[in-house]
Amino acid sequence: MQKLLIATTNEGKIKEINDSYKDLEIELIELRKIVNEDFKVKETGHTFEDNAVIKAKEYAKKSKMITLAEDSGIDIDCLEGKLGIYSARFLKGKTDEEKNQIILNMMKKVPKAKRTARFRVAIAIAAPNKKVEVIEAISEGTISSQAKGDNGFGYDEIFIPKGSRRTYAQFSINEKNKKSFRAAALARARKILKGFMK
């Protein structure tokens, strides 16, 4: 069975990737199981795509395995670039719940029409021979007035995708695996992944 390195230590992302690819005949290897903790890739890119490619290439080279890496985050229009590629590092040291509450407090007086936001994700698949391909997906939506839901991580509990009245964290696991922005990117990445595994 072929192996695929998942280049993240984020438990929520690992679960979504595992759920999306559980039907494939691929052994998914978690990063922490094979890479020394001292080996960290610096995310020096200026876009989600840049950072996903940097991580996929470096970990593929280090592990000598086909590697899937992703970089994602949220853009909140009224906060003018405070998050984006810095989403994971925003308010570093705070829990997801604390970050979400701080954002909601910052937006307390922002009317519904101006609470527009979008999740972005870039997924890069790289081989040790330096071949790399990238998939991107975007989910437009709005920021809720309060945190809701228990089935998510990161900013899921404050993001309402377009066409829904619920936050991503209020979706069931099955719904999220079918409808989320990351699920859309992972679904599109399947064909590419199969090509790498030939």
Active site residues per annotation: 71
User: Would you tell me how many other CB atoms lie within 10 Å of the CB of residue 116?
Assistant: 16
Residues 19, 86: Cα–Cα separation, whole Å: 26
Torsion of CA 172, 177, 179, 185, to 10 degrees: 160
